[in-house]
Structure 1
Amino acid sequence: MSRMLASPERFAVAALDALLANIAILDSGGTIIAVNRAWERFAYTQGAADNGLGVNYLAICEATQGEDRAYATDIATDIRAVLAGRAEEGETEYPCDLADGPHYYLARVSGFVQDDERFAVVAHEDITRRKRAELQVHGLNQTLELRVRERSGQLEAQNAELARVGHILEDNNAALIESNLQLAQFAHVASHDLQEPLRIMGTYSDMLRHRYNDVLDSRGQKYLNHMTEQVARARQMVRDVLDYSSVKGQDRSEVLELKTFWNEAVHFLTWPPDARLSCGQLPDVRANPAQIRQLLANLLGNSVKFRADRPLELSLSEVRRAEGMTELVLRDNGIGIGAEYREQVFAMFQRLHSRAAFGARGSGGNGIGLAVCKRIVEEHGGSIWIGEPSSVGGSSGGTAIHFTLPLA
């Protein structure tokens, strides 16, 4: 048997009492004529003597003083507007200090007409949870904004400092470029100017030997020989300085077959008859031809110059490739370089052995050959170092010079 539908009026009072919001109905003059149970409970918990029926709610709002006056005035304004028909509804959020702490309420005012009279419904809804969450989010946002502003200020300061340092570096780089250019020009001019007095000294020493060799005793001839040797050494040092200063500025690079340059360097050097040379499969590189030619000539020349008292064995091979660079190693079985000198040998005029130790092979050099090699390799974006010696052919010890060059 189906239940007959009941009219809404039957449940009106029960539904009103079931609502959680504190609700009061006001007549056209603002007097409270009905409240729900939530309103009554709230009134009693706040120490009110009654539920407020018959009290003019507008008068209560307008009599409010202190911090709550502005909120009460807003609620009263909404009630008057609804009762006068100027507004459909109004809302006001306000704080309220209760026994268990601060709360937040939303006062909603709406109106209806019955029996040709306008009434107002005032509902106070507890929105403490939502408001606390909003305040927490607002506080977090403020904290975040503050941190963002602080961080932005720090970044601006850092950017300003970076810009300042960048300008300083640009100025320093410009000054360094100018200084290097002037230094190269000075080295070039000074070296050429030094060549002339050295040439004259060499000429006069040759004249002395040619014209007065029979007059000089053994000691005089020894002095003359020393003078000739030192003049030749000075002229070689001048040429070495010119070679070192000329490395900078030679930017022309092209694809080179390293094996061809190896063969060229081997061809133009004088090797002992029992020397054994080997060259592995070498990659093509992008480099300056003149500088690569000088690099290999210096490295191979050192192997010849500083060989040990055994048949010379020499090999050039590729070790690995990485990040657009090839690593090569030149190994020999010569006298070797001590671990404590592996950085020192790449500085200018650093010699580890006396010239007397290489009497039959010429001088031990001026200590600039590996400095030129280092500069050439670094000009091409590579690096050069002395590795651990290992066996070459059937011999052990010697020197292993590693260097990197850009692949073609």
Structure 2
Amino acid sequence: MVALGMPRHLVSPERFALAAYDALSANIAILDAQSIIVAVNRAWDDFAQEFAGAGPTANNGLGSNYLAISEATTGDDRPYALATAAGIRDLLAGRRKVAEIEYPCKVANEQRYYMARVTAFDQDGERFVVVAHEDITRRKRAELALESLNRELEARIEARTRELEEAGRAAERHNAELEESNRNLSQFASVAAHDLQEPLRLIGAYADLLRHRSYDRLDTRSQTHLGHLLDQVGRARQLVRDVLTLSRVAVRPTLQPVDMRALWDACIATFPWPDDTRLECADLPPVLGDAAQLRQLFLNLLGNALKFRSARPLELSLRVEVEGPQLHFQLTDNGIGIAPQHHEKVFVMFQRLHSRTPSGLGSSEAPTGGNGVGLAVCKMVVERHGGRLWLTSVEGQGTTFHFTLPAAPSAHGESAVQHRSAPVSE
């Protein structure tokens, strides 16, 4: 009985207990100490009617022994029924406070999922058990969909990993085959170039002998032909030397610490620099490279600066900047420069920007000889060392060749990249 005038929020909860019990969405049954079903809610009643033909139906299981029903279950549902029965026994014996069993259930040709929660309470000196079956189908389907997606993703990742591993192995095989091919081509080019040297030497020797002994007896046209012959023999011999150079840089080098300043000094000493030439070089840290190939790099770049100098006194400087594990070298001259449209073309094999005949471009008024191989060799050397080569230039003012090389490791395992910016005059 509720006292008259009592505030609504102070109404005794017992007034709503039965209505709330029936309003719960979970299928709930209350068992006594002998596991007899003594009460069920409306959701249990509705589910029992929907699940007709399997389990307690006529009286919704009231008065039935829940343990006996569970233990009599057969088929795929038996493990879950037995687990629920075990939970009920544990709660009745006071061994557990709660038991939860998740299980699938096929109802009206639809696969559903439930969570059975078993709890206990004491009343009037007797223990009772509450068995609540909650429909978790939506959540379970989401979990299963997520698991399926995860399995599919894992399968895709595994398949992709296998593809990448196979691609890596194929790339390794391809690289090994390419290296072997490069070695074979290098050996072939070296042998062919050596074999070509002898006939070219003989042709040049006989042509030179003809010029010394019979030049005056030849008519003007024959003298011109002889001059062309000697020129082409010289060009062919240079081509052979270029092929030999290419054969030496075609194979990936064995990298070792290289003293770049000592290499620079040795290369500078091989050229006939004009007396008014100004050469500058910063302190150069050691690089990790092949000394023979790096010597060829310096020789080609220095020779290029000497060949394409302007009428001004030649100025040439080499500086270096540290860029992480790489060293960025910059070789700058004040020569004739290169037009922007030719900045990439100069690195292409056998591409020439100038004639072999005298053109008045240099102070010596000499023809710019060569076969367009030098800078291509430079690019190959730098790339073989894991770096890159490019240029910046202003036509008529000069050119800077940029190239990167790996810094040599110090005794402590770090890159020996100490850099002093002040140039040293040669």
One fold, TM greater than 0.5? Answer: yes
**Quick check: 1:327–1:404 contact (8 Å CA) kept in 2?**
yes
Q: Secondary structure at the match of 2:387?
A: coil
Pick aligned residue for 2:173 from 168, 171, 174: 171
TM-fit CA distance, 1:302: 0.6
Partner of 2:343: 342
Could you report, residue by residue, the CA deviation over 1:184-228 in whole angstroms, capped at 9, with x for unpaired residues? 122112111211221121121022112212211222112111101
TM-fit CA distance, 1:335: 1.2
- Separation (CA, whole Å) in 1 of partners of 2:190 and 2:100: 89
Judging changes above 3 Å, is the alpha-carbon distance between structure 1 residues 15 and 256 closer, same or farther for their aligned structure 2 residues?
Answer: same
**Quick check: 2:255–2:290 contact (8 Å CA) kept in 1?**
yes
**Quick check: 1:79–1:109 contact (8 Å CA) kept in 2?**
no
- Separation (CA, whole Å) in 1 of partners of 2:31 and 2:265: 110
- Separation (CA, whole Å) in 2 of partners of 1:31 and 1:185: 94
- Separation (CA, whole Å) in 1 of partners of 2:243 and 2:258: 26
**What is the identity, as a one-letter code, of the residue corresponding to 2:355?**
S
TM-fit CA distance, 1:273: 2.6
- Separation (CA, whole Å) in 2 of partners of 1:104 and 1:362: 94
**Quick check: 1:237–1:366 contact (8 Å CA) kept in 2?**
yes
Pick aligned residue for 1:302 from 301, 304, 307: 304
Could you report, residue by residue, the CA deviation over 1:47-84 in whole angstroms, capped at 9, with x for unpaired residues? 9xxxxxxxxxxxxx9xx942454884995353799xxx
- Structure (1 or 2) with the greater helix fraction: 1
Q: Secondary structure at the match of 2:316?
A: strand
| Larger Rg belongs to | 1
Which structure 1 residue ranges, 5 or more long, are not aligned? 1-13, 48-60, 82-86, 115-119, 391-395
Partner of 2:259: 257
- Separation (CA, whole Å) in 2 of partners of 1:224 and 1:92: 106
Greater Cα shift, 370-379 or 164-173: 164-173
Judging changes above 3 Å, is the alpha-carbon distance between structure 1 residues 154 and 357 closer, same or farther for their aligned structure 2 residues?
Answer: same
Could you report, residue by residue, the CA deviation over 1:353-391 in whole angstroms, capped at 9, with x for unpaired residues? 00113584354311011111111111222111012449x
Judging changes above 3 Å, is the alpha-carbon distance between structure 1 residues 358 and 78 closer, same or farther for their aligned structure 2 residues?
Answer: same
Identity %: 39
**Quick check: 2:260–2:285 contact (8 Å CA) kept in 1?**
yes
TM-fit CA distance, 1:317: 1.2
**What is the identity, as a one-letter code, of the residue corresponding to 1:157?**
A
Judging changes above 3 Å, is the alpha-carbon distance between structure 1 residues 80 and 310 closer, same or farther for their aligned structure 2 residues?
Answer: closer
TM-fit CA distance, 1:179: 1.8
Aligned pairs for 1:83-122 within 5 A: 89=92
Aligned pairs for 1:90-169 within 5 A: 127=132, 131-132=134-135, 134-169=136-171
TM-fit CA distance, 1:121: 7.5
Q: Secondary structure at the match of 2:380?
A: helix
Q: Secondary structure at the match of 1:66?
A: coil
Partner of 1:11: none
Q: Secondary structure at the match of 1:317?
A: strand
Pick aligned residue for 2:366 from 334, 357, 361: 361
Partner of 2:53: 66
Could you report, residue by residue, the CA deviation over 1:152-190 in whole angstroms, capped at 9, with x for unpaired residues? 221222123223333432332233222212211221121
Could you report, residue by residue, the CA deviation over 1:245-302 in whole angstroms, capped at 9, with x for unpaired residues? 1014473444333222222222210122322222223222232222222211111111
**Quick check: 2:55–2:69 contact (8 Å CA) kept in 1?**
no
> What's the RMSD between the two structures over aligned residues?
4.3
Judging changes above 3 Å, is the alpha-carbon distance between structure 1 residues 334 and 206 closer, same or farther for their aligned structure 2 residues?
Answer: same
Partner of 1:326: 327
Higher RCO structure, 1 or 2 (CA under 8 Å, sep 6+): 2
Please say if 1:370 is aligned against 2:359.
Answer: no
- Separation (CA, whole Å) in 2 of partners of 1:27 and 1:177: 84
- Separation (CA, whole Å) in 2 of partners of 1:311 and 1:165: 55
- Separation (CA, whole Å) in 1 of partners of 2:151 and 2:115: 31
Aligned pairs for 1:178-257 within 5 A: 178-249=180-251, 251-257=253-259
- Separation (CA, whole Å) in 2 of partners of 1:286 and 1:407: 6
Judging changes above 3 Å, is the alpha-carbon distance between structure 1 residues 80 and 376 closer, same or farther for their aligned structure 2 residues?
Answer: closer
Which structure 2 residue ranges, 5 or more long, are not aligned? 1-12, 22-27, 71-88, 94-98, 108-112, 409-426
Judging changes above 3 Å, is the alpha-carbon distance between structure 1 residues 74 and 206 closer, same or farther for their aligned structure 2 residues?
Answer: farther
TM-fit CA distance, 1:25: 8.9
TM-fit CA distance, 1:242: 0.5
Please say if 1:385 is aligned against 2:387.
Answer: no
Judging changes above 3 Å, is the alpha-carbon distance between structure 1 residues 238 and 92 closer, same or farther for their aligned structure 2 residues?
Answer: closer
Judging changes above 3 Å, is the alpha-carbon distance between structure 1 residues 207 and 149 closer, same or farther for their aligned structure 2 residues?
Answer: same
TM-score w.r.t. the length of structure 2 is: 0.68
Greater Cα shift, 252-261 or 285-294: 252-261
Could you report, residue by residue, the CA deviation over 1:137-166 in whole angstroms, capped at 9, with x for unpaired residues? 433321221011111221222123223333
Q: Secondary structure at the match of 1:268?
A: coil
Could you report, residue by residue, the CA deviation over 1:290-316 in whole angstroms, capped at 9, with x for unpaired residues? 222221111111111011222222111
- Separation (CA, whole Å) in 2 of partners of 1:332 and 1:74: 106
TM-score w.r.t. the length of structure 1 is: 0.71
Judging changes above 3 Å, is the alpha-carbon distance between structure 1 residues 207 and 153 closer, same or farther for their aligned structure 2 residues?
Answer: same
Judging changes above 3 Å, is the alpha-carbon distance between structure 1 residues 290 and 111 closer, same or farther for their aligned structure 2 residues?
Answer: closer
